[in-house]
Amino acid sequence: MGEMIGKQSVKFAEAPYIFEGASVVGPKEGEGPLGKLFDVIEQDPMLGSKSWEEAESLLQKETVQKLLLKSGLKKEDIRYIFAGDLLGQLIATTFGIMDYEIPFMGLYGACSTMGEGLSLAAMMVAAGYGENVIAMASSHFGSAERQFRFPLEYGNQRPFSATWTVTGCGAAIVTKRKGFARITGVTTGKIIDYGVKDAQNMGACMAPAAADVIYNHLNDFGTAPDDYDKIITGDLGYVGQAILIDLLKRKGIDISKVHMDCGIEMFDKENQDTHSGGSGCGCSATVLTSYVFKQLKKKAWKKILFIPTGALMSPISFNQGKSVPGIAHLVVIESV
Amino acid sequence: MGEMIGKQSVKFAEAPYIFEGASVVGPKEGEGPLGKLFDVIEQDPMLGSKSWEEAESLLQKETVQKLLLKSGLKKEDIRYIFAGDLLGQLIATTFGIMDYEIPFMGLYGACSTMGEGLSLAAMMVAAGYGENVIAMASSHFGSAERQFRFPLEYGNQRPFSATWTVTGCGAAIVTKRKGFARITGVTTGKIIDYGVKDAQNMGACMAPAAADVIYNHLNDFGTAPDDYDKIITGDLGYVGQAILIDLLKRKGIDISKVHMDCGIEMFDKENQDTHSGGSGCGCSATVLTSYVFKQLKKKAWKKILFIPTGALMSPISFNQGKSVPGIAHLVVIESV
């Protein structure tokens, strides 16, 4: 059960646990500063398959397998899986999880999907609809470039505001069983459009949505940035981080001391040529289930906000001259 | 609150109500046998806009507006909106609902989206996470043809197994307030793949998923087809209907007397050249919120199963030679 708080939040009476997480990434992510923290680094970005899309499906398949193994659960123990990816019609997810035969709810929140999935998983478990629920999200550099931007063979030059789509998949088990952390509340985001039309500057498109959901969360719960050890966005990158901090400062809120962005953490800016940082739903999902979970496990962080951000666009909407609205979903996680 | 029932179902302790529904369709749907039952028939399939995608967004915008009007609610009264469409990255939904500023969870279940949305809306309301929640799904013939099949200008010949994507949007308010019907239970579907690769025969791709979720529902709840006035699938069409009835007969279950398919009801087979029937998430969403809701309101039907079915494919997966797996989500609706 949970209680409605303020305008767009829920606070759980009996907060569900996070029991375990799993992360599988590609070689470039493995060479980054968080490399040692992921469960699996695939050395071949194709995972031995024939297409990027198939490789992304394999990332999902492997992540579920690893998650079940780490948590000592069988696929039959999982009541629901909430999952998604960036590709049209969620084909990476469909072909990735099919064989597990777990009741499935397909989600699309662009790069905010891990926040949407964790929110729903926590809501399900807290309401008694399931004992164990998986939330998962993935992205793949190759499949995302084909979907959204230029053929890789074209060798298009990337502006400095551009981010680099993470090849990776992260998943977590939300459960009634005692785990290392609890999801104590959620704040569900609205679509926010500032009219930015630059698909090579996702940070600017998404920062207003992150600012809006953080602002509403603090209002709904009556908290301040200092109440959290970290306020973690998904893939704003350097450009989006500056905008987010600035937007909140104008409302009298300073998150600069506790803000962290998964996209900034993922790659080494100097040596990996990733410009504004990492992106994709796999970015926040893998950083959460590796680095962030480890910090919570050793209680280095006691209370955090996890806020993956999504840019809502498609090749069609972009080519039709539409703007790129953003959305962000917020989850409160506390160590146990 | 709700209770887990059997393998993949939830039965609500205090079942949430359906308070009102709204449906907006295009001209061809308006000329069909259900024409008089829809709230709005748009005479211009472009709704005065410049693209099919924009027209679909306008369908969503108009449907929410109509729904709020019919139910006497303001946008601020809506806690969540669960919505989706068939287009890559849900652009019809994004640009359709943006202005309402309602916390939004994006769903992709192909043509099963209205079942996924109603399930989640009911789960949210029953758990006390929201007073009023909207579930909505749309499709548009033009945007779907561009997305999935051939340019319309190409004039490709359609086989008799092909369905005709419905131009329409349907939405319902699930709430604590007493309405005309209650959602008393849900059974969440799994991805089922029989290896069918024919994108012009969606009925055959989706029928196994419908059979699976119906079979598991009857097992979980200990009921039989006779316990329901109607068992209503989304868009199997004539071809899929025959397969569904046959698959269940092999398991000793005969639904032939109570089965109805929204795709079959939508168009006049003889005079509208729609071959196997209507399809698209707008098909089941509009038939539910017009014809089916009216039957429940006048208690002509007291207890029904609503089971929209989705074909999980994308142009990329199809061109890469992948099969078209199916999924179906089931909702139990009882008149009050």
> B108 and B61 share a domain?
yes
Q: Do both B254 and B131 map to the same domain?
A: no
CA distance B82 to B74: 17
Using an 8 Å CB-CB cutoff, list chain B residues near A116.
105-106
Q: What is the identity of the amino acid at B256?
A: S
Q: Residue A2: its chain B contacts at CB < 8 A?
A: 127-129
Could you tell me whether strands B168-175 and B17-25 are parallel, antiparallel, or unpaired per DSSP bridges?
Answer: antiparallel
The verdict on a CB contact (< 8 Å) between B88 and A314 is: yes
- pLDDT score for A221: 98
Tell me which of A193-202, A224-233, B104-113 is least confident: A193-202
Q: Min CA distance, B335 vs chain A (Å)?
A: 24
Partners of residue B129 in chain A, C-beta under 8 Å = 2, 4, 10, 123, 127
* Contact A72/B at CB under 8 A: no
pLDDT at B147 (0 to 100): 87
Tens of pLDDT along B252-296? 999 999 999 999 999 999 899 898 999 999 999 999 999 999 999
A162, A306: one domain: no
Q: Residue A187: its pLDDT value, please?
A: 98
Would you state the pLDDT for residue B156? 76
Rounded CA separation B43/B30 (Å): 8
* Structure token pair of residue A74: 């069988």
| Domain final residue pick, A175, A194, A224 | A175
Nearest CA in chain A to B143: A316
B320 — contact with chain A (CB < 8 Å)?
yes
| A225 SS3 class | helix
Domains of chain B: total: 2
Instruction: Quote the CA–CA distance of A132 and B193 in Å, as a whole number.
Output: 24
Spatial separation of the C-alpha atoms in residues A301 and A288, rounded to whole Å:
13
Contacts of B252 (CB under 8 A, 6+ apart): none
Token pair for A238: 């350097």
Co-location of A133 and A216 in the same domain: no
Q: What is the per-residue pLDDT for B148?
A: 84
pLDDT of residue B146: 85
Nearest CB to B103; choose among A50, A101, A188: A188
The CATH number that applies at residue A318 is 3.40.47.40
Judged against a pLDDT cut of 90, whether residue A68 lies above it is answered with yes
Shared domain for B142 and B200, answered yes or no, is no
B128 and B239 both lie in a single domain: no
By the CB < 8 Å criterion, does A14 face chain B? no
Which residue from A312, A315, A314 is spatially nearest to A324, judged by alpha carbons? Answer: A312
Among A158, A175, A192, the domain boundary falls at A175
DSSP string over A247-282: HHHTTT---TTTEEEHHHHHS-HHHH--TT-EESHH
Q: How many CB pairs under 8 A join A and B?
A: 178
Per-residue pLDDT tens over the stretch A126-177: 999 999 999 999 999 999 988 887 767 777 778 888 889 999 999 999 999 9
Same domain for B116 and B13: yes
> Do both B158 and B117 map to the same domain?
yes
Residue B133's domain comprises: 2-175
Banded model confidence at residue A52, pLDDT cuts 50, 70, 90 = very high
The pLDDT assigned to B103 comes to 98
Give A-chain residues touching B94 at CB under 8 angstroms.
191, 312, 317, 325
Specify whether A170 is located in the same domain as A206.
no
| Pick from A135, A134, A126, A136: nearest CA to A176 | A126
- Same domain (yes/no): B167, B247: no
pLDDT at site B153: 74
Note the pLDDT of residue A157.
79
Substitution target in B75, B108, B196, B318 with the highest count of A β-carbons within 10 Å is: B108
Count of beta carbons in the 10 Å neighbourhood of residue A285: 35
Q: Are residues A203 and A251 in the same domain?
A: yes
Q: Which residues of chain B have pLDDT under 70?
A: 151
Mutation choice for B interface testing from A51, A53, A80, A89 by most B CBs within 10 A: A89
**Shared-domain flag, residues B323 and B211:** yes
* Best of B60, B89, B145 to mutate (most A CBs within 10 Å, chain A): B89
Contact A106 B103 (CB under 8 A): no
The B residues from 205 to 234 touching A (CB cutoff 8 Å) are: none
pLDDT at B260: 98
B191 in contact with chain A, both atoms CB, cutoff 8 A: yes
- For tokens 């704040």, the residue is A187
Confirm whether the ipTM is greater than 0.85.
yes
Residue A202: the pLDDT is 87
Characterize the bridge pairing of strands B259-261 and B17-25: unpaired
Q: Do B129 and A4 touch (CB under 8 A)?
A: yes
Question: What's the pLDDT at A43?
Answer: 97
Q: Do B314 and A91 touch (CB under 8 A)?
A: yes
Last residue of a domain, one of A175, A194, A213: A175
Do the chains contact at A188 and B105, CB–CB below 8 Å? yes
Is B89 in contact with A102 (Cβ distance < 8 A)?
no
In this complex, the residue of A80, A188, A191 whose CB is nearest that of residue B80 is A188
Q: For all residues of chain A together, what is the average pLDDT?
A: 95
Q: What is the pLDDT of residue B286?
A: 98
